Amino acid sequence: MSTAEQQPEGTTSSTTGTTSDALLGPADIRELAAVLGVRPTKQKGQNFVIDANTVRRIVRTAEVRPDDVVVEVGPGLGSLTLALLEAADRVTAVEIDDVLAAALPATIEARMPQRKDRFALVHSDAMLVEELPGPAPTALVANLPYNVAVPVLLTMLDRFPTIERTLVMVQAEVADRLAAKPGNKVYGVPSVKANWYADVKRAGSIGRNVFWPAPNVDSGLVSLVRRAEPIRTSATKAEVFAVVDAAFAQRRKTLRAALAGWAGSAAGAEQALVAAGVSPQARGESLTVEEFAAIAEHKPAAERPAL
């Protein structure tokens, strides 16, 4: 992800003493991309932000604090990275692209040398990252490629439980699904699984004209604040998610029918549902994550693997 515009919204950052002209402007972004031979591709889901106000808005909406250790996925040319470095204590960027990963440290050193020791780069696929350098992350802020947004988000939340607050920019449709509540027509697997970890809500909309190249869809901000207490259940996350996946694989069917394969039979599914206090005639789109957990707890014993 990248950004910015050269007219400062504010003056000097009280946290770092850096000025807003350290951020990348639209001309800077295109020049840097040209030097690197980078052409944003749909395959990689690359759309660089070229509006400084949008990046500052992301940092502000994420409520990044001076003591935060922020992990950013997909930093691209580095404009959000620079804005995060102005506000946070440390930033670790995870970048899969070879060219972008190689160039980012030099961009940080050139534009914000006084903060370079507060920056770390992990050159890897975020789906494969199991540990990060330095102190444990407290926040996740990212412009996620549309094609991998949900799996990357869920993987990061699962692997790094110290992440308390998350703000991601994703395709508007994905944002709606993540933040949907039971009963909403777009409520589904992403909604339930995200809610397993956090309280989720829409945090704003982003137009197409702040990107280069402009995507064919609008974007949305999603805020996730990790639950203070995990969901109380004797079932494992994997067991709960198995119920969720089964329920929405055939979302038009009643849960008695949709969970028949999971339970071993329709009768077994009904038994589990009744024991969990859920109507066998209900559909997955009406259930909370707590109700899915209750169902998982009552999977017929013969079918439930020993832990």
Annotated binding site for S-adenosyl-L-methionine: 47, 49, 74, 95, 125, 143
Largest CA distance in the chain: 66
Contact 73, 126 (CB under 8 A): yes
Q: Torsions phi, psi of 268, nearest 5?
A: -65, -40
Cα-Cα end-to-end distance for the chain? 42
Tokens at 282, concatenated: 């209900």
Contact 142, 72 (CB under 8 A): yes
Residue 38: is it exposed, middle or buried by C-beta count within 10 angstroms (0-12/13-18/19+)? Answer: buried
Q: Torsions phi, psi of 36, nearest 5?
A: -85, -10
DSSP string, 41-105: -TTTT--EE--HHHHHHHHHHTT--TT-EEEEE--TTSHHHHHHHHHSSEEEEEE--HHHHHHHH
For the packed helices 79-87 and 98-111, what is the interaxial angle rounded to 10 degrees?
Answer: 50
Upper half-sphere CA count for residue 130 (Cβ side, 13 Å): 1
Task: Report the binding-site residues.
Answer: 47, 49, 74, 95, 125, 143
The type of residue at 84 is L
With b meaning 16 or more CB within 10 Å and e meaning fewer, what string describes 252-266? eebbbbbbbebbbeb
